Structure 1
């Protein structure tokens, strides 16, 4: 009769340990799934924002080239974007060389996206945070800012 009590206690402890390991494994697996999904959503959002800013740069480029006096022209295209995406802040940079691109980077999780830019007008290396983004031409080059 003494052996049965040890067997029941041992069986109970063993079952509890197995259940704890299974629950822990599920929590770890679901945590990485959520983080991966968040990265995918941030990447998609940054891609969309980058494409919209790229379109604004192309539109500003066309307006400058259509001007009678490009050196005296002033162009300002303002667009409102979310200040945060999926709970994280982000920054965009207009890079002039070697090939014109817009680089976007979120802070947490850190995700980087690059979008190409089509232009003929000179670009200045410039950057802006999320929120109101202005693509402007000051008579010499196109740039982005948060004016």
Structure 2
């Protein structure tokens, strides 16, 4: 009879070990999937935010080109965080009348790039996420993005 008691206990322990192994394998496999989904969500949100900023830069450019504009101010309401992480926007010139907006979320190690054409010069800068302001100064004949 002692053999039967050991056999039942051994079967129970082995069953628990197999279940624990399967569950841990599931968690390990799904963690990579969840991280990929999060990175994709962050990248998509950064792209949307970048396009919104590019649209507002285009609005400020059109207002500046009306001829009578000495100063133009356009407020840009952007989220302070995307998918729960901070981000920054870097604007740089790539060619005459061509600029690139690079939005980076360092915590997620994700970035998105948005291209912009502007006949009015845009000052290269880096700003944090959140409410921004696009300002055109007729004296310098350029657009500048600043914290809101």
Paired residues of 1:94 and 1:143 also in contact (CA < 8 A): no
Aligned-residue Cα RMSD (Å) equals: 1.7
CA distance in 2, matches of 1:43, 1:25: 28
Decide which moves more: 137-146 or 50-59: 137-146
**Structure 1 residues 61-107: Cα deviation after superposition (integer angstroms, max 9, x where no partner):** 11112124x6xx21111111111121111111111234411110113
CA distance in 2, matches of 1:96, 1:78: 22
Figure out how many residues of one structure are paired with residues of the other and give that number: 144
Task: Show the counterpart of 1:45.
Answer: 45
Q: Where in structure 2 are there 5+ consecutive unaligned residues?
A: none
CA distance in 1, matches of 2:122, 2:78: 22
TM-score relative to the length of structure 1: 0.88
Decide which moves more: 75-84 or 7-16: 7-16
Task: Show the counterpart of 2:85.
Answer: 88
Deviation for aligned residue 1:138:
2.0
CA distance in 2, matches of 1:124, 1:51: 18
TM-score relative to the length of structure 2: 0.87
By percentage of residues, which structure has more strand? 2
- SS of 2:94's equivalent? coil
Q: Where in structure 1 are there 5+ consecutive unaligned residues?
A: none
Task: Show the counterpart of 1:105.
Answer: 104
CA distance in 2, matches of 1:142, 1:96: 12
CA distance in 2, matches of 1:143, 1:6: 78
